[in-house]
Chains A and B, each alone.
Chain A
């Protein structure tokens, strides 16, 4: 069962599938090896407008439902999870503005995307991972400006973004209530990118440090009000992590499809190995997990579309989908036997790609805290 989507999304899906098959899937193999950011693939994706699926219609977007978009994201993730991550991380980077930004900032951020740019979300710092409130980046008001100083790390799209949504402390003494969110455009003096990560997986996405050294931005680039940064960041992640679940589901789906195709062709003991019930059960377990993950993603997205609370469901979707993506990728390798371990075959990459989804946008341990808090309540 795929996502239940509109007829128009069904047609888009066909076009996106064709694009991914022809322009992404095979091409990304080489970039997975080199670790180079495949600009020409992204340029083609931008031309096709795949990078702006999440932009609201009033700001030049498509007006598709989130579940419709999820079906398209899954198709991209099946081709290459790093590719889908870049595009989804751009959505993550735009969300703080869409959630709390001024009308002018919303227009500006969306225009940058529509014109072919990407966004990036800058929360994590070397000393502030799961404990996001421990951030040391500061923003000091100076007349009509803020001056930012600090270092962010593990920033997806850090090196290629057109704009950044950055958390910084405006009042160190106030803890999380002293954190604010800012909109910083690429090219602003004092903004630079640092160390680029050489990653295990999603190697077609860019991840690097983003550094602020006396980076002066207009005061109007404050998103929401001073002190609201942490709250905006959490709302952003509440939405964004479902998309990570969506991509993880795509990785798992690819793993299952590869395993089935191989199992039908590989002959041992005179018959295709998939004729063995032991392997059929593996596929059944994959399907059970993938289907469950996908429908959880769909459920969380539907809640978002309806404006209903979705914190717990989003955490479940992300946590579960990434856990099962690891399991399915691992089992896909198992079904390929020795070939599965070889880089000549497509499944070992899936395991490498899947791992990060248990880590970023809130580790799965943090997700479980979120789910526990939202299930047990305060007592």
Chain B
């Protein structure tokens, strides 16, 4: 099975991101760039599928030169080859623009390899913007099927059968390949790289695909713009109670709750 995994490099989501004081600029100083968590789930699911049915995984990302690290990370945990899609013309692209660029990359890579991708994996959303748009829009741009929120996948005769998480349980959904799937948190965690796979990934080439390679695809003008950036009003911290004994603390707290008429 030929698999493509689309990933995004994002600021480490375990770090609280704030604005530089008095500005509308997000302060990313000292914040590591990591592969979007849902994309790592997507890659792990893809890697398990590959191990089960055979095939190859290609990882791609759109971003500046430093996003190369994200691809390299993926080469150590299941991806067989990787590409960095990078071009000044792509910098302003919104989610729709990015889906057009990705679609152009898919066509380019398929033409280069002489065979189509059977499956295209995306994370359900990125942890920074969390819009969940790129996967569905890529499916539309490619004119192929879409299944969202996967927590498991298996190959079937004509394509794939996916376990899709829902509000109250799950659905089993089947689709013919090629198709796009977006991945939620499965029951398993992404693997760690081995020391050897990490060392090997370092040595693998990560070619850059620029607009020229992608038929000068036009991502289009962004369909929205940011008017202002700010931080939400903070709740004021109240009283912290730490009496000698637990009993005393509780008595004091419940009395305050009663005074506030919330009981």
Which residues of chain A have a CB within 8 Å of any CB of chain B? 8, 11-12, 15, 18-19, 44, 47-50, 52-53, 62
Contacts and interface: CB of A to CB of B under 8 A. Distances in A.
A11 B195 contact: no
B202 A49 contact: no
B41 to A, nearest CB: 15
A12 B202 CA distance: 10
A11 B192 contact: no
A49 B198 CA distance: 11
Contacts of B224: none
B1 to A, nearest CB: 24
Nearest to B34: A18
Nearest to A52: B195
18 contacts: A8-B199, A11-B202, A12-B195, A12-B199, A15-B192, A18-B192, A19-B192, A44-B192, A47-B191, A47-B192, A47-B194, A48-B193, A49-B195, A50-B195, A52-B195, A53-B195, A62-B195, A62-B196
B96 to A, nearest CB: 34
B12 to A, nearest CB: 11
Nearest to B76: A15
A276 B76 CA distance: 46
Contacts of A52: 195
A44 B193 CA distance: 11
A48 B195 contact: yes
B199 A48 contact: no
A49 B194 CA distance: 6
Contacts of B199: 8, 12, 62
A313 to B, nearest CB: 27
Interface string B234-247: 00000000000000
Given A47-B192, A49-B194, 8 more contacts: A11-B198, A12-B198, A15-B76, A15-B195, A47-B191, A48-B192, A49-B195, A62-B195
A203 to B, nearest CB: 24
Contacts of B191: 47
Contact of B202 (A8, A19, A44, A50): A8
A333 B194 CA distance: 36
The 4 closest A-B pairs by CB, nearest first: A49-B195, A49-B194, A48-B192, A19-B192
Nearest to A45: B192
Interface in B187-225: 191-196, 198-199, 202
B44 to A, nearest CB: 14
Contacts of A44: 192
Contacts of A47: 191-192, 194
Contacts of A12: 195, 198-199
A49 B196 CA distance: 8
A335 to B, nearest CB: 22
A150 B202 CA distance: 49
Contacts of B193: 15, 48
Contacts of B196: 49, 62
Nearest to B72: A11
A185 to B, nearest CB: 25
Nearest to B189: A22
A145 B198 CA distance: 43
Contacts of B198: 11-12, 15
A52 B202 CA distance: 19
A62 B200 CA distance: 10
A49 B199 CA distance: 12
Contacts of B192: 15, 18-19, 44, 47-48
Nearest to B203: A8
A19 B191 CA distance: 10
A347 to B, nearest CB: 22
A23 B23 CA distance: 38
B262 to A, nearest CB: 30
Contacts of A11: 198, 202
A15 B76 CA distance: 10
Nearest to A48: B192
B115 to A, nearest CB: 32
B202 A48 contact: no
B170 to A, nearest CB: 27
Contacts of A50: 195
A18 B40 CA distance: 14
Nearest to A23: B192
A239 to B, nearest CB: 21
Nearest to A14: B32
Contacts of A48: 192-195
A258 to B, nearest CB: 19
A48 B191 CA distance: 9
Contacts of B195: 12, 15, 48-50, 52-53, 62
Contacts of B194: 47-49
Nearest to B32: A14
A147 B191 CA distance: 45
A194 B199 CA distance: 40
Q: Of residues B195, B198, B199, which shows the largest number of chain A Cβ atoms within 10 Å of its Cβ? A: B195
Of B192, B196, B199, the most chain A CB neighbours within 10 A belong to B192
Nearest to B199: A8
A362 B251 CA distance: 58
B129 to A, nearest CB: 24
Contacts of B76: 15
With a 10 A CB-CB cut-off, give which of A15, A18, A53, A62 has the most chain B CB atoms: A15
Contacts of A49: 194-196
Nearest to A44: B192
A12 B73 CA distance: 11
Nearest to A50: B195
Nearest to B77: A15
A168 B192 CA distance: 41
Nearest to A19: B192
Interface in B164-195: 191-195
A149 to B, nearest CB: 40
A93 to B, nearest CB: 20
